[in-house]
Amino acid sequence: MIADKKKRTAEIIKRLRKRYPDAHCALNYSSPFELLIATILSAQCTDERVNVVTADLFRKYRTPQDFVDVPKSELEKDIHSTGFFRNKARNIKAASQRIIDVYGGKIPRTMEEILTLGGVARKTGNVVLGNAFGIASGVVVDTHVSRLSQRLGLTDEKTPEKIERDLEQLVPKRNWIMFPHWMIFHGRQVCHARKPKCTECVLADICPSYKLSVGDPA
């Protein structure tokens, strides 16, 4: 069964790569540190909203020290529209302080180290390591990747950590960084949460969910 899933995953990658040749990280950033902050802000928030907020935020605060020095109340006001702003402000300040104290002002480049930063779990770690440094530390699992992986029959798991483990067995490591981008683009444009555009989907003939809901296109 794992062999069949690997074969189907390879076909999914082939088709999505062709369909979305310009797939990329949707968050705007100009440094690994900015990507870290943007990813922390993206929790329970759209990338579009984060990009609106960081357009001003990254002009106001340029270094970890800037985020350490600003009063928490002021930072909360600056990021208020991203939601959960109190927790995010606390995490950003804690992460910035540790980056200064432990890592000399630089973002660490291992998952073990980056997970010690405030507000950083595996998803954030994978986003930063993969997109800022080209380090394939794992597979980013957001809501789109989770939904599509389940619909495509790549996993039966529900938690991001377990879904990631399943995907790491199916997706070649060379594709770990780009695979989530292809899936996210497809999730946003075609495989919507409520009303997926199954009849427009390039994966319809190999998607178990399509066959169940519409019938086997073959």
Catalytically annotated residues: 123, 142
Listing DSSP states for 121-190 in one string gives -HHHHHHHHHHHH----S----HHHHHHHHHTTS----SHHHHHHHHHHHS-GGGTTHHHHHHHHHHHHT
How far apart (Å, rounded) are the C-alpha atoms in residues 179 and 1? Answer: 21
Cα separation, 174 vs 28, in Å, equals: 24
Longest dimension (CA), the chain: 62
The token duo for 206 is 């190999």
Kindly state the helix (H) or strand (E) to which residue 108 belongs, with its residue range.
Answer: none
In the numeric block, the tokens 């040749």 are attached to: 21
Distance (Å, whole) CA 207 – CA 198: 9
- Please report, to the nearest 10 degrees, the dihedral formed by the alpha carbons of residues 207, 209, 210, 212 taken in order: 130
